[in-house]
Amino acid sequence: MMRYDVVVVGAGPGGAEAARAAAGQGLRTLLLEEHRSVGLPTHCTGKLSLHAFREFDLPPALAVNALSAAVFHSPGGVVVHVRRTSADSYVVDRVRFDRWLVERAACAGAEVVTGVRVTHAARRGDLLRVRGDYAGRAGTFEAEARTVIDAEGASPRLPASLGLRLARTYANGLQYEMRGIGGLEADTPEMFFGRDTAPGFFAWLLPLDRQTARIGLAVDPRETPHAPVRYLERLLAAHPALRRRAAGAVVVRKVGGRIPMLTAGAPTARDGVLVVGDAAGQVKATSGGGIYYAMTAGRLAGTTAARYAAGDRRAAQAYERGWRRAFGREVAFTALGRRVINRLADRELDLVMRFIHASPAVRASVEAAGDTQYQSRLFLPLLRTLAAAALRRPALLPVVGLALVQGMLAQM
C-alpha cells in the first residue's frame, strides 16, 4: 500500500495544476491518469482565454491560432459580426497542451502514473484509499492519502463512493475536425443558433487556419430525443452559411462527450475530497468552456490539500469558498444566460440579433466590454446600451425582459 499526502485522479488541465500546486507545497503527490498517454483521447475544442495564458504563465508556443472576432448566425439567417482590436483567446492543441502541464507538474515534484483506471474509493479512518485497475495488464492498484482531488472529467466515479453527491445537468456534444472548409477567417469563430440547429445549446465553427476548422454542436437531451450526430450532419449539409463551404471537406477527426453544468449551490468538496473542473461542473453553461476554471480550481485544491495535511478540518469549506469567489459568479451568470437563451423562441432570437446587427452602438459595447472568460462584465454595459437603443425599438423590451425574468425564475 503506497501512502501519499494527496492523490489527484485525472491528468487533464485541472488535475495537472492541482498536482503542481500540491507538490509545490511540499506534499507527497501522486497524479493518476487512466489512459496510457496523457491528452488522449481529446474531448474539447481547445479554446483558451488570454487570462489563462497570463495567469498560468503558459508559453505562446502552445497556441495554434489566435482569435479576435466572432460571427453569430441567428435561426432566421441574421448575421452579426463583432471584432476586437486584439486577440482575447487562443486555440491550443489539447494533446500537446495537456502533456506540457503534466510535465510541469512532474518537474514540481509530483509522481505521475498513467494507465491506472481508478474505480473505487473508501475511507479508512483519517485516510482515503483509492483502488483501480491497470490498463492492459493484471493487478490491482491501491494508494492512500489524506486528500483526494477528483479531476476525472465529465463522468466521475469517485465522489459518490465517498459520500459526495454531485448535482449537475448535461449537454451532449459532437465535433468534427475538417480540412477543406471554404471561406474561413483564421481569427474568427462562428456560432449558429436555433431550436432546429442545436436544441438547448448551439453549434460552432472554430478555425485552426484558413483551411481547417473544428465544427461541432451540443444538444440538451431534455430538449430533443435525437443524438448530436443528426443535427451536426444536417448543419453541414443544409445550413445556408455552411453547406457550400463544407462541400468536399474531409473529416480528419471526430470527438464527442458530455458537457456538465453545475446546479446552483451544489457542493464540490467534503472531508478530504475536492472535485475540480468538469467533474465538478465548473463550466460556462453558455459555451461549454471550462479549461481556465479547471486550472484555477485545481490550483486552489492543491493548496487546500496542504491545509488537510496540517490537520485543518475546515479545508473543504475553504476550497468551496475559494473557487466560488474566484469564478462562481461566472458559473451562475452563464447558467442564467443559458436559461434566458433557451427560453427565447427562434423568432424572438431573430429579433434580438437583427436589433444588434442594426445597432452600431450595441456592437461597439460588445466589442469594448466583451470578455469570453468573464461574460458578466459585458452585462451592465450592454444592458445600458440596449435600454437606450430600445427606446427607438419598443418591441424589443418585452422580449428581452421576459427572457430575463424567466431565466432568473428558473435559476431560483
pLDDT at residue 262 in the model: 65
The average pLDDT across 226-246 equals: 97
pLDDT at residue 166 in the model: 82
Residue reference for cell 463550466: 283
212 versus 138: which is more confidently predicted?
212
- What is the share, in percent, of the chain residues with pLDDT greater than 70? 88
Torsion angle, CA of 361/367/368/374, rounded to 10 degrees? 130
pLDDT digit string, tens, across residues 80-94: 898 888 888 999 999
The average pLDDT across 57-73 equals: 94
- Start-to-end C-alpha separation, the chain: 46
pLDDT at residue 402 in the model: 46
pLDDT at residue 400 in the model: 54
* CA dist., res. 205 & res. 203, Å (int): 7
Q: At a CB cut-off of 8 Å and minimum separation 6, what does 170 contact? A: 154, 221, 258, 259, 260, 261
8 Å CB contact between 298 and 21: yes
CB atoms near residue 226 (< 10 Å): 13
pLDDT at residue 357 in the model: 83
**Residue 399: pLDDT over 70:** no
**Residue 31: pLDDT over 90:** yes
Torsion angle, CA of 211/250/73/369, rounded to 10 degrees? -50
DSSP string, 61-126: GGEEEEE-EEEEE-TTS-EEEEE-SS--EEEE-HHHHHHHHHHHHHHTT-EEEESEEEEEEEEETT
pLDDT at residue 329 in the model: 87
* Confidence band for 378, pLDDT divided at 50, 70 and 90: low
- What is the share, in percent, of the chain residues with pLDDT greater than 90? 65
**Residue 111: pLDDT over 50:** yes
pLDDT at residue 227 in the model: 96
pLDDT digit string, tens, across residues 248-278: 999 999 999 999 876 666 789 998 999 999 9
pLDDT at residue 405 in the model: 40
Q: Rg of the chain over CA atoms, in angstroms?
A: 22
* CA dist., res. 127 & res. 304, Å (int): 16
Give the Cα-Cα-Cα angle 275, 17, 69 (nearest 5 degrees). Answer: 100
Give the Cα-Cα-Cα angle 220, 280, 156 (nearest 5 degrees). Answer: 85
* Confidence band for 408, pLDDT divided at 50, 70 and 90: very low
**Residue 287: pLDDT over 90:** no
Which residue type occupies 354?
A: R
**Residue 5: pLDDT over 90:** yes
pLDDT at residue 394 in the model: 61
Residue 244, judged by CB atoms within 10 A of its CB (0-12, 13-18, 19+), counts as exposed
pLDDT at residue 278 in the model: 93
DSSP state of 235: H
C-alpha cell at 91: 486555440
The helix (H) or strand (E) run that includes residue 130 is strand 127-134
**Residue 139: pLDDT over 90:** no
* CA dist., res. 141 & res. 122, Å (int): 14
**Residue 403: pLDDT over 50:** no
DSSP state of 10: -
**Average pLDDT over the chain, rounded to whole?**
88
The average pLDDT across 398-410 equals: 44
For 115-119, 190-194, 221-225, 399-403, which range has the lowest pLDDT when averaged over its residues? 399-403
The average pLDDT across 195-207 equals: 96
**Residue 167: pLDDT over 60:** yes
pLDDT at residue 376 in the model: 64
Domains, the chain: 2-45+94-167+263-313 (3.50.50.60), 66-90+169-259 (3.30.9.10), 337-411 (no CATH)
Which residue type occupies 342?
A: N
pLDDT at residue 1 in the model: 77
pLDDT at residue 373 in the model: 66
C-alpha cell at 36: 496510457
pLDDT at residue 377 in the model: 65
C-alpha cell at 233: 450532419
**Residue 345: pLDDT over 90:** no
Q: Is 142 helix (H, G, I), strand (E, B) or coil?
A: strand
* CA dist., res. 59 & res. 71, Å (int): 28
pLDDT at residue 26 in the model: 97
* CA dist., res. 67 & res. 341, Å (int): 24
Residue reference for cell 435525437: 226
